[in-house]
Amino acid sequence: MINVGILPLEVMVHRIRPHKVIVTLHNSTKFRCQSDTRPLWKFNNGPLPANHIIGEFMKGRLISELKLYNITQSNEGIYSCEGEDKFGSFKQNATLIIDSKLNNCKYSRTPCS
């Protein structure tokens, strides 16, 4: 006897991309979260820093894009995309790392002394 399983027609996958970003100071980066509902973005389980913009667009499903600009050391940490839909709650994390080794005169927007 062969047992055949039936997969549900609706399978929910929530994604945040990329999972890890390494940037230098004063640059910008973005994270994208894919879901069926409008997600809530958080930074280190709290409010987002002031230097952000959130945009949304449809590409089969809702894509929410968090853009951080003029990045400072205080932007380093965990960014979360979370929410609820008919399948339950979801939370995806991504890490932003500031690479201070690259932050020298070559990459600086301020004059070097």
User: Which domains, and CATH codes, for the chain?
Assistant: 15-102 (2.60.40.10)
Average pLDDT rounded to a whole number, residues 60-68: 90
pLDDT tens-digit series, residues 75-105: 999 999 998 877 788 899 999 999 876 655 4
Q: 19's torsion region: left (phi>0), alpha (psi -120 to 50) or beta?
A: alpha
pLDDT tens-digit series, residues 15-55: 777 789 999 999 999 999 988 888 899 999 999 999 999 99
The pairing of beta strand 20-23 with beta strand 88-98? parallel
